[in-house]
Amino acid sequence: MADPFRIRDHVADFDDIVRDIVERSARTRETAAMLADIPYAPGPSETLDLFFPAECKPGMPVHMFIHGGYWRMFSKRDYSCLADTITAAGAIAVIVDYALMPSVRMATVVDQVRRARDWVVHHIAEYGGDPGRLTVSGHSAGAHLASFLFTRDQAPVHIRAALLLGGLYELEPLRSSFLQAEIGLTDAEVQAFTPMTHDHVPATRVALMVGAEETEPFHDQAGAFARHLQSRGVNVSRSTLSARNHMNSVRDLAIVDTEAGQQLLRLIRGTCEK
C-alpha cells in the first residue's frame, strides 16, 4: 500500500509543479519591490524577505507565509511567488526561512517561526506595515508551524487570522511513514509539537483548507483540528479545494484568480479594517 504521506507517490506531476513554483518565484524576485534576507535572529537560516504592493502607504496590512516540505526541504526563495497574491491584496508579504531538520530539531524550527513573527510585530512599522493587521498562512509543515503562532502559552498574540492549507496537526502517524527515516521524530517531539494537544487563542480566526485530491490523512486531520479549535472557542472554517492536490493547491495560493488565491485574498482583505 502506498504511503499516504509520501506526496510524490500521489501527485503524478509533482516535479513539474515544484519547477513551476520555483520559476514563478524567480520571476517574482526579479520584478517585485522587495527587501531580501532581513535577519529576524542571528542564525544563518533566520532571515525573511519583504515584498511590497505596487502602491505603498502607511499602515499597510501584513501577511506572513511559512513554506512546507516536511520540515526538511525547500526555502523561502522557492515560495517567493506567494507574494503575488499577498501584495495584490495591498499587504506587505513576509516570506520566512527556517533551519531544516534533521540538522536541527523541531523545537528549534518552532522557535524560529515564532521569533520571525515577533520580529514582524516589533519592526514591520519601520517598513510601512501595521503589526495590528497581521495575518499568517502556511502549507503542509508550514501550516503546522503557523499553528504555533497563536497558541495560548505565549505573550499576547497579534495574529488576526490564519489560513492553514494541507496541514499536519497530529504527528504520531508520521512515525509510521517514509518521513521517519529522514527526520526521526521522537516521542518528546510528537508530544510537544502536535497542534491537537495545544490551546489556541480564540482571537485568531482560522481558515482550514485541503485539496479534494489529498490523501485521506490530510482530510481527517483537517476535520479533527477544526473540531479541536471549535471546542476552544476559535472561529474556524473548513473548505475543500475542488480538483486540487497537495502541490497544485499551494501553487494556486500564488495565483490570484484561483479558488485558493481568492480565499487568501479575502482573508487578508477581511482583516484590513482597523
pLDDT tens-digit series, residues 88-128: 999 999 999 999 999 999 999 999 999 999 999 999 999 99
CA distance 160 to 235: 11
In the chain, the number of structural domains is 1
**In 10 A of CB 193, how many CB atoms?**
23
The string of pLDDT tens digits covering residues 8-36 is: 999 999 999 999 999 999 999 999 999 99
Domain membership flag for residue 248? yes
Half-sphere exposure of 216 (CA within 13 A, CB side): 4
Residues, the chain: 274
What is the DSSP code string of 160-210?
EEEEEES-----GGGGGSTTHHHH---HHHHHHS-GGGS-B-TTSEEEEEE
What CATH number should be reported for the domain holding residue 234? 3.40.50.1820
Residues contacting 87, CB < 8 A, separation 6+: 32, 51, 52, 53, 54, 93
Domain membership flag for residue 1? no
- The bridge status of strand 92-96 relative to strand 159-165 is unpaired
CA distance 84 to 91: 10
Decide: pTM greater than 0.85: yes
The string of pLDDT tens digits covering residues 178-223 is: 999 999 999 999 999 999 999 999 999 999 999 999 999 999 999 9
Domain region containing 200: 7-269
Domain membership flag for residue 144? yes
Domain membership flag for residue 274? no
- Which three three-digit cell numbers place residue 71? 520540515
Where is 146: in which H helix or E strand?
helix 141-146
Question: If we measure between CA atoms, which residue out of 151, 161, 144 comes closest to residue 204?
Answer: 161
DSSP class of residue 27?
Answer: H
Domain membership flag for residue 196? yes
